[in-house]
Homo-oligomer: A and B are copies of this chain.
Amino acid sequence: MAGKERKLSELAEMVGGEFNGKLDPLIHGVEDLERAGSGQLAFVADRKGGQRITASRAAAFIVPRDLPVGDQPVIRVDDPALAMARVQQYFAQEPFIAAGIHPTAVIGRECKIPAAVSIAAGVIVGERVVLGERVVLHAGVVVGDDTIIGDDTMLWANVTVYPKCRIGSRVIIHSGAVIGSDGFGYVYDRRAGRHVKRIHQGIVEIGDDVEIGANTCVDRGTFGATRIGKGTKIDNLVQVAHNDEIGENCLLIGQSGLAGSVTLGNGVVLAGQAAVKDHIRIGDGAMVAAKAGVIADVPPGGIVSGMPAISHKQWLKASIIFAELPGLVRELKQLAKRVDELENLEGHDDSGR
Contacts and interface: CB of A to CB of B under 8 A. Distances in A.
Interface of A: 1, 30-32, 34-35, 79, 81-82, 84-86, 88-89, 91-92, 102, 104, 106, 120-122, 124, 138-140, 142, 144, 156-158, 160, 162, 172, 174-176, 178, 181-182, 184, 186-189, 193-199, 201, 209, 211, 213-215, 217, 219, 222-224, 231, 233, 235-237, 239, 241, 249, 251, 253-255, 257, 259, 272-273, 275, 277, 290-291, 293, 295, 306-308, 310, 314-315, 317-319, 321-326, 328-329, 331-332, 334-336, 338-339, 342-343, 345-346, 353
Nearest to A345: B346
B215 A217 contact: yes
A81 B187 CA distance: 7
Contacts of A104: 104, 106
Given A124-B139, A160-B176, A334-B353, 4 more contacts: A195-B233, A277-B290, A339-B342, A342-B342
Contacts of A342: 339, 342-343, 346
A254 B239 contact: yes
B217 A214 contact: yes
28 contacts: A79-B187, A85-B196, A85-B198, A104-B106, A121-B124, A139-B142, A142-B157, A144-B157, A156-B162, A158-B158, A160-B175, A160-B214, A181-B236, A182-B211, A194-B209, A194-B249, A237-B239, A254-B257, A255-B257, A275-B291, A291-B291, A314-B326, A318-B322, A334-B353, A335-B339, A339-B342, A342-B342, A342-B343
A52 to B, nearest CB: 14
A332 B329 contact: no
A316 to B, nearest CB: 9
Q: How many copies does the complex hold?
A: 3
A214 B178 contact: yes
A235 B335 contact: no
Nearest to A211: B197
B325 A318 contact: yes
Given A89-B197, A290-B293, A181 B186 contact: no
Given A236-B184, A239-B236, A272 B257 contact: yes
Nearest to A138: B142
A233 B186 CA distance: 9
A27 to B, nearest CB: 14
A305 to B, nearest CB: 9
Contacts of A158: 140, 142, 158, 160, 178
Contact of A237 (B217, B233, B314, B326): B217
Contacts of A194: 209, 231, 249
